[in-house]
Structure 1
Amino acid sequence: MRYLAKKIIEALITIFIVTIIVFLAIHSSGDPINSLLPDSATEAQRQELTEKLGLDRPLVEQYGRFVKDALSGDLGTSYTSKRPVLEMIAEKLPYTFELALVAIIIAFIVTIIFGSLAAIWKNTILDRIILAIAAFFKASPIFFIAILAVQLLGVKLRVLPVAGAGTPLHLVMPAGLLGLAIASDMTTLLRSNMIAVLESDFIKFGRLRGLPEYKVILKHALRNSFSSVLALSSFIFASLISGSIVVETIFAWPGVGILSYNSVISRDFPVVQGIVLILSILTILLSFTMDALLAMLDPRIRKSV
């Protein structure tokens, strides 16, 4: 219980800090009035709109109002579309969930297969190829890889659609690239841990007892190595969010990522604040759930707190 209570407190503090940072960042990025009114607008019109949106109030008061309204389920109204922010986010979330779910499935499949192969055949050509590919995805910005994929698979070979949604093929490139980007760190981590487990005494003892090699690998080595990958849940979910914004924008995927990008460009403060709050809560809840599962599966985690 102490472990879970600590995680709840950490989650609440994180949400509070994230909302403050984003609130200050977007309010220091420029005046949204410039993008809401034409260049011919008079100073009186600008002042009237500023007062109407409450932007003439002190930042502390604006933040307090945002938190108060958010606690009651009201994330405000978009400056540009005049629609409720919560309604706009709810409309886009299913697309982002679909992208994230497929990406995480791809990431785990790639990690389990290639992380295990690299560990089993360490220091071989196969191991070096896997590590080189993982290093490429870790070192390269996702937008760079996405542009390369668009040019090769979409423009030159024309085997996959490069923008939009609607069919499973539209999901292949964005979800595939996002999944591979996440899998790069997970694969190298699984490889390192699995090598250590395979060289441990209990694995050697199992082999001496005559256990089939597939049982040694799947039941013991992989199982004991994979908990460390699950412990990366915070990194995984954070990577999904940051990566989805880039991927959705490049591939015109109609999710929360492209909505947040457009809102930042137009300085639509309520939408940006609402998206950050919702995604922060979802990320922390998912991470908290994963931590709770790890604590139940591994008593050492609870005892370390």
Structure 2
Amino acid sequence: MMFDYLVKRVLQALLVLFVVTTVVFILLRGIGDPVKLLVSPEGTFEDYENLQRMLGLDKPLIGQYMDYLSGIVKGDFGNSFFYNRPVLDLIKEHIPATLQLSFAAIVIAIPFGIFSGIISAVKRNTPIDSIVTTLSIAGRSVPSFWLGIILILIFSVWLKMLPASGYGKFKQIILPAITLSMGLLASTTRLTRSSMLDVLQQDYMTTARAKGVKEKGVIVFHGLRNALLTVVTMVALQIGNLLGGSVVVESIFAWPGIGRLMVTAITNYDYPLVQACALVMAVIFTFLNFIVDILYTFIDPRIRQS
């Protein structure tokens, strides 16, 4: 049964990736003509046609699409129009920075979010609960571009404690990681609080206390474990959204990740690079959802049995 379930999820993931590649391919063809940007202003119509032929954009749309799919199967994403380099090389160079930034944001957001949510639920209707709730709503409401600018203004311009840009040193990742983590931290806090409040009212929590289990054990081993299923689902989806948020954050802090690379590609109508960046993000997002489905079976034995 488990094997059949895994096969089904893999097939669903492949279908999602196929739809993403198709939609991105079609949308890109409607936003502009990269040949007009690349050809010299003094170029002739013949120069335009030659460049179009060299880039493979002279073929019918279906022909371009089939070439694109066959290239993906072979692991060939083509050459970047703007950088004039293999797209796969550019992705390999920039994706480590994005993964590093996303990992740092996760390390900040999830532990603090779960801890804050538990404290808020246990201390319900107290000043601590009010403070945590207010901060989580504010953290979710503040746009990442605004927060990033404010952090740069305070810690880089006024206090001169942390650099506003750069890559490679620990200090350089602190501000972008905090900016990127804020939405996930706020969402994790609110959902953990909500789930814990529901779990704390269950009969098995009262039974555990009646058996003499210490309050910390009741909350962690009985309450948190049962509340985690909903939290894990949200966290996985939000982790995928970190990739989308990284586009803005990487641009603000000049972080050399795939998000910033994608912004440059979109600006220059770089079809192959945009398609590759979108596919990579879709693969990571789909993979995370697949991992979450597997985690369900370990968190909740009822799902494993079904």
Scaled by the length of structure 1, what TM-score is found?
Answer: 0.94
In structure 2, how many angstroms separate the alpha carbons of the residues matched to 1:301 and 1:139?
34
SS of structure 1 residue aligned to 2:219: helix
What displacement does 1:42 show?
1.6
Change (3 A) 1:70 1:184: same
Deviates more, 1:256-265 or 1:180-189: 180-189
**How many corresponding residue pairs?**
304
Aligned to 1:125: 127
What displacement does 1:4 show?
2.4
In structure 2, how many angstroms separate the alpha carbons of the residues matched to 1:233 and 1:292?
14
What displacement does 1:233 show?
4.7
Deviates more, 1:228-237 or 1:168-177: 228-237
1:206 pairs with 2:211: no
Deviates more, 1:105-114 or 1:147-156: 147-156
In structure 1, how many angstroms separate the alpha carbons of the residues matched to 2:198 and 2:190?
13
- In the TM superposition, 1:210-221 aligns within 5 A as 210-221=212-223
What displacement does 1:234 show?
4.3
Deviation string 1:95-142 (CA, Å, 9 cap, x unpaired) is 111111111111111112111111111122211221112112222221
Aligned to 2:277: 275
In structure 2, how many angstroms separate the alpha carbons of the residues matched to 1:142 and 1:154?
17
Aligned to 1:113: 115
SS of structure 2 residue aligned to 1:294: helix
1:257 pairs, out of 256, 259, 262, with 259
Does the Cα contact within 8 Å between 2:184 and 2:235 map onto a contact in 1? no
Does the Cα contact within 8 Å between 1:233 and 1:290 map onto a contact in 2? no
Aligned to 1:38: 40
In structure 1, how many angstroms separate the alpha carbons of the residues matched to 2:181 and 2:226?
23
In structure 2, how many angstroms separate the alpha carbons of the residues matched to 1:136 and 1:54?
49
Give, as a single letter, the amino acid of the residue that structure 1 aligns with 2:266.
V
In structure 2, how many angstroms separate the alpha carbons of the residues matched to 1:145 and 1:132?
17
Does the Cα contact within 8 Å between 1:103 and 1:179 map onto a contact in 2? yes
For the aligned residue pairs, the C-alpha RMSD in angstroms reads: 1.6
Aligned to 1:5: 7
Change (3 A) 1:155 1:257: same
What displacement does 1:303 show?
6.2
Deviation string 1:155-198 (CA, Å, 9 cap, x unpaired) is 22222111111210111011112112112112111101101111
Give, as a single letter, the amino acid of the residue that structure 2 aligns with 1:79.
F
Aligned to 2:288: 286
In structure 1, how many angstroms separate the alpha carbons of the residues matched to 2:14 and 2:235?
17
Does the Cα contact within 8 Å between 2:121 and 2:129 map onto a contact in 1? yes
Give, as a single letter, the amino acid of the residue that structure 2 aligns with 1:217.
I
Aligned to 2:145: 143
In structure 1, how many angstroms separate the alpha carbons of the residues matched to 2:97 and 2:198?
39
Does the Cα contact within 8 Å between 1:154 and 1:161 map onto a contact in 2? yes
1:235 pairs with 2:271: no
Deviates more, 1:106-115 or 1:2-11: 2-11
Aligned to 1:183: 185
Scaled by the length of structure 2, what TM-score is found?
Answer: 0.94
Deviation string 1:8-33 (CA, Å, 9 cap, x unpaired) is 22211111111111112222111111
Give, as a single letter, the amino acid of the residue that structure 1 aligns with 2:192.
L
Aligned to 2:86: 84
Deviation string 1:68-118 (CA, Å, 9 cap, x unpaired) is 011101010111221111011001111111111111111111112111111
In structure 2, how many angstroms separate the alpha carbons of the residues matched to 1:281 and 1:269?
18
Unaligned ranges ≥5, structure 1: none
What displacement does 1:238 show?
2.3
1:63 pairs, out of 37, 62, 65, with 65
Post-superposition, which runs of at least 4 consecutive aligned residues in structure 1 deviate over 4 A? none
Deviation string 1:27-49 (CA, Å, 9 cap, x unpaired) is 21111112212322221111110
Does the Cα contact within 8 Å between 1:77 and 1:84 map onto a contact in 2? yes
SS of structure 2 residue aligned to 1:231: helix
Give, as a single letter, the amino acid of the residue that structure 1 aligns with 2:231.
V
Aligned to 2:300: 298
SS of structure 2 residue aligned to 1:155: helix
What displacement does 1:299 show?
3.9
Q: Sequence identity, in percent? A: 36
1:21 pairs with 2:23: yes
1:170 pairs, out of 172, 185, 192, with 172
What displacement does 1:302 show?
5.2
Aligned to 2:76: 74
Does the Cα contact within 8 Å between 2:228 and 2:299 map onto a contact in 1? no
What displacement does 1:286 show?
2.3
